Amino acid sequence: MYESFFTQLNSEVLASLINNARSHVCYAAPGIQMKPAQALIDLAERMGPELITVFLDVDENVIRMGYGQVEAIEALQKAGIRVEHIAGLRNGLIVADGKGFSYTPTALFLEREAESYEALNAMRLTSDQAADAMARLSPASKAIALAQADTTEKKQAIESAASETTPVPLDKSTLSDISTKLKAAPPARFDVARQVRVFQPHFQYVELSLTGAAIQRHKLTIPKAIQNIGNRQELEGRLKTTFDLIDKNATVSSKGLDKELRDIRENLTRSLGKKHGRIIRKATLPRLEARLSDLREKIEEHQKTIEKDLEATLSRSMSLVVDYYLPIVLKDPPDELYGLFGDPTKDNIQAWLANKLSKAFPTPDELVNNINLEVNYKDVTFETLNRDDFLESIKLAYPGVDWDKTYREFRAAGEVTDPQSKRTEG
């Protein structure tokens, strides 16, 4: 495989290249996994660390992206292998005994390491290209390339190459600080993060609700001082111990808004059952936002309309209650009325009823300002995706989509074959 121009490099292959080295190794990449790091440590024990050069972007975000493990860097330092830091390094370079490859390292947060030529992420370098890369990488790797050059022409070419990076020795305190931060807030399990991302482009959970709009459902609790007077007859089915503030057919009713939101919910989202809630295809989100924008405009119009009519509507409702109780109180006035007015008149009783009810009635502003369209989005979670009924729920909600294929990708995204990676990811 090492003779192919395009090839695949993963931690296993990198470790094999390092294990087979006899004279020198140059490793440069954003980070390093434990398997190639252990191979470097074993090599240092066989031939000493002097001819091993390691360049990494030693950064917290690099570790969180899954380019490498902080434990691997700590192990290299403990073994006496010099590690230098190159900020922003994202390409990979491995040169072992003059055999070199330029490659794209795998960020485990995004995808698992490929196996069996699943992906070609590396290009083989000629011996001259490998030496030139080492010469331009750092003075230390340039010195090794010079020592390995077997002709005057090669030595001259290496000497003329100028370094294009600025490696700095790795400060132990920097690595310790990164390690502390990672322990305080550990990276996401990479296999889990990959699995969740398989479904994230497809849908989100969504909750839609219209709160405070159903003014016609507001009920007034009749004050106890009034409830206890006379018989508890009903006023056309509206009067019990509570009273419907507004007739259900009044112009301030929100039935139209409720129906529109219900239509939006039913047409653009799907229910996965009580355990999962409702979901929406991400491709449908622009349509949903447009429909919700229209609904918000209608809500504003509704608020303006009912603000004009609500005061009169509430006034009529209060008059109905006052008119209902007035003859009852006239027939049997409570002691409170005698205490207030001596011998209460009809006007006194009307004023007393209105006063008692006004304390229980809401104001038009209180009702109008409580109308809100609430929209809450939530991303899928690993726990949800792993429920036994998840796939079947998705199939029922969207029968025209091949979710089996997506679910296979979901399972494959979580595969971990490297025991060292398993410890990191799990």
Total Cβ atoms within 10 A of residue 32:
27
Q: What is the mean pLDDT of residues 148-168?
A: 90
Long-range contacts (CB closer than 8 Å, 24 or more residues apart) made by 169-178: 169/82, 169/83, 169/84, 169/85, 170/56, 170/58, 170/73, 170/77, 170/83, 170/84, 170/85, 172/77, 174/58, 174/85, 175/58, 175/70, 175/73, 175/74, 175/77, 178/58, 178/59, 178/60, 178/63, 178/70
Predicted structure pTM score: 0.61
- Give percent above pLDDT 70 in the chain: 87
* DSSP state for residue 163 in the 8-state scheme: P
* Tens of pLDDT, residues 186-202: 877 777 777 777 777 78
Closest CA to 253 of 245, 262, 264, 261: 245
CA distance 170 to 163: 18
Whether 422 has a pLDDT exceeding 50, the answer reads no
* Tens of pLDDT, residues 4-49: 899 999 999 999 999 999 999 999 999 999 999 999 999 999 999 9
* Tens of pLDDT, residues 45-90: 999 999 999 999 999 999 999 999 999 999 999 999 999 999 999 9
Instruction: Give me the phi and psi of 65, to 5 degrees please.
Output: -75, -10
Mean pLDDT of the residues in the chain? 84
Lowest mean pLDDT among 102-116, 150-164, 368-382: 368-382
| pLDDT at site 411 | 67
Whether 214 has a pLDDT exceeding 70, the answer reads no
Q: State whether the Cα torsion 298-300-302-305 is positive or negative.
A: negative
Query: Mapping DSSP to helix (H, G, I), strand (E, B) and coil, where does residue 123 land?
Result: strand
Whether 336 has a pLDDT exceeding 60, the answer reads yes
Q: Which position has the higher pLDDT, 317 or 252?
A: 317
* Domains of the chain (ranges, CATH numbers): 6-187 (3.30.870), 201-378 (no CATH)
> Predicted confidence band at 235 (pLDDT cuts at 50, 70, 90)?
very low
What lies within 8 Å, CB to CB, of 136 at 6+ separation is 142, 161, 162, 163, 164, 165
Whether 234 has a pLDDT exceeding 60, the answer reads no
